[in-house]
Amino acid sequence: MGDQALVCPGDKLFSAADYVAGKGTYTKGTHIYSSAVGIPQTFAPKTGSTDKKPTVEVLRGASRAKLPEPGSIVIARITKINPRLASARLLCINTLPLAGTFTGIIRQQDVRATEIDKVEIYSSFRPGDLVRAQVVSLGDSRSYFLSTARNDCGVVYAKSTSGFPMLPLSWQEMQCPQTKVVEKRKVAKVL
C-alpha cells in the first residue's frame, strides 16, 4: 500500500504480523484497518519499545500534527480573564499548528507552583497575551486544562496598554520599552 493513498474507515491497510496499529487505525483478526479518512503513514518503532515492528497511522493532514494531550506544550492566546481563571485559544503544539480550534483554561491553582493562594489572574495574564503552557488534562467537554507552573511556561509575548511589545524584567514583570511602564505578568523563562 502506498503512503499517499487516501483511505476510508474500514479499509484494509497492513498485516498485523508486520505492523503495529497506531492513531486512526484498529486491528481486527490478522489485519490492521483504517478508522479514519486520511493518508496512511508508517513510522519506525519508538526508541526503547519492546515491539520492533513499525507503526501505521492514518493522518488527516500531510503532517504528523498531534492533538493536544496531557504533557503537551502549547502556545495559546489569552482571550478573557476573570478572578478564578484565564481562557485561551490554543494556537500550536510546540511549533506545529493545530488543524482544528481548541480552547484551554488556566485555573488560578495552575498559574505557578508556589504560593498558589496568592495568585491573582489579573496580575498574571491579560487578553491578547501569548503564553506557553503545558496541557494538564482534557478538562471538560469544551476546554483543556492548562498549567503555567513550570519555569519555562507563562507569558512569552505581551503588548503594553500603550500597544508596544513588552520586554521581560523578571519572572513576574514586563516593561514597555517606549513608556517604561512596568506591568505584572507570569513571565516564561527564556529558553
What one-character-per-residue DSSP string does 113-149 give? Answer: SS-GGG--GGGT--TT-EEEEEEEE--SSSEEEEE--
Per-residue pLDDT of 15-54, as tens digits, reads 999 999 988 888 989 999 888 777 888 888 766 667 788 8
One fold for 12-59 and 73-184: yes
Looking at residue 61, its pLDDT comes to 59
pLDDT at 13 over 50: yes
Query: 3-class DSSP state for residue 16?
Result: coil
Asked if residue 60 lies in contact with residue 38, where contact means CB atoms within 8 angstroms, the answer is yes
In the three-class reduction of DSSP (H, G, I as helix; E, B as strand; rest coil), residue 66 is classed as coil
Of the pLDDT bands very low, low, confident and very high (cuts 50, 70, 90), residue 83 is very high
CA dihedral for 143, 77, 86, 148, sign (positive or negative): positive
pLDDT of 143: 86
Query: What pLDDT does 3 receive?
Result: 46
- For residue 70, the model assigns a pLDDT of 87
Mean pLDDT of 61-83: 80
> Higher model confidence: residue 123 or residue 4?
123
Beta strand ranges found along the chain (DSSP E):
12-15, 20-21, 25-28, 31-34, 39-43, 55-59, 73-81, 85-93, 96-107, 130-137, 143-147, 154-157, 167-170, 173-175, 182-184
Domain boundaries, the chain: 12-59, 73-184
Q: What confidence score (pLDDT) does residue 2 get?
A: 43
The three cell numbers locating residue 121: 489572574
Q: Which residue has the cell 489579573?
A: 122
pTM for the complete prediction?
0.64
pLDDT tens sequence across 135-175: 998 877 678 999 999 999 999 999 998 889 999 999 899 99
Who has greater pLDDT, 66 or 30?
A: 30
Backbone angles phi, psi at 117, to 5 degrees: -70, -15
Which distant-in-sequence residues (6+ apart) come within 8 Å of 146 by Cβ?
Answer: 74, 76, 88, 104, 105, 106, 110, 131, 133, 134, 135, 136
Encode pLDDT of 112-126 as tens digits: 888 878 889 999 999
10-24, 59-73, 174-188 — most confident range = 174-188
Q: Which amino acid is at 174?
A: M
**Cβ(108)–Cβ(84) under 8 Å?**
yes
| Annotation: CATH topology of 73-184 | OB fold (Dihydrolipoamide Acetyltransferase, E2P) (2.40.50)
Query: Which has the closest alpha carbon to 132: 85, 183, 188, 191?
Result: 188
Q: What kind of fold does domain 12-59 have according to CATH?
A: OB fold (Dihydrolipoamide Acetyltransferase, E2P) (2.40.50)
Local confidence band at 93 (pLDDT 50, 70, 90 cut-offs): confident
